[in-house]
Structure 1
């Protein structure tokens, strides 16, 4: 791996950690007030996408294009790519962990990271912010 790619991956990891914290706090707060775990997961997904877009655009992929059409294009691609991992795969896995295997709804989203994190990086790097 080139040095730039390693640095970019480390930056992506930092943003990913902040995104995970934001998403998880929203998810846990919604569970605490009695929201269904799937609904809480969907709402927390959107909080995470907004956080992710801002920091990936500015900090990770150094997207210097700041015109509205470029921002909308990048955000739309991020939303589409992360919808695949963040909504579809994430909710399928969460349902599997919680409803099929009986794993705690608090632990389920953390298990999902092992699948969704690598997919998000690849889709962000090669499509959303390309």
Structure 2
């Protein structure tokens, strides 16, 4: 297991900042869909797609910046980002059903609870796999 160093901590903080924008994009889309009467799973899916596009753009430019000596396949990295976020999307959907249908938590609060679970998991998958220079050669 790799030791957490200062650079990784800074990346996690930046990832958190980008995560706030992803969350805002996802939640805004989610609430717009809910407002217009969409099922919460449909709303969550739309929020996921737009939030993931936002995540890829900002993580690529701000968090896991490509070094001048590094060669990164944007297509391969983009696919990996969607897979990583797809895994947490599936987890998020299961958790939404648990929060809303099983535990009776409100539609407005449930997606916020998911962020506490999915953010650390997304960071690990993006840091160690999707944006890993050795994995993208």
SS in 2 for 1:35: coil
- Aligned Cα RMSD in Å? 1.3
Give the CA deviation at 1:64.
4.7
In structure 1, C-alpha distance between the alignment counterparts of 2:121 and 2:14, rounded to whole Å: 16
Q: Distance in 2 between matches of 1:43 and 1:92?
A: 16
Kindly indicate whether residue 50 of structure 2 is the aligned counterpart of residue 24 of structure 1: no
Q: Which runs of 4+ in 1 moved over 3 A?
A: none
Give 1:2 deviation, angstroms: 2.1
Q: Which residue number corresponds to residue 89 of structure 1?
A: 91
Q: Does 1:115 align with 2:117?
A: yes
**Deviation per residue, 1:35-88 (Å, 9 max, x gap):** 0001100110000000000000010000258xxx811100100111110112x1
The answer on 1:9 being equivalent to 2:3 is no
Query: Please, what TM-score do these two structures have when normalized by structure 1?
Result: 0.92
Unaligned runs of 5+ in 2: 133-137
- 2:75 matched to which residue of 1? 72
Q: Which whole-Å CA distance do the structure 2 matches of 1:5 and 1:95 have between them?
A: 33
Give the CA deviation at 1:5: 1.4
State the Cα distance separating 1:109 from its structure 2 match: 0.4
- Equivalent residues, number: 126
TM-score, L = length of structure 2: 0.88
> 2:54 is matched with which residue?
51
> Could you say which structure has the higher helix fraction?
1
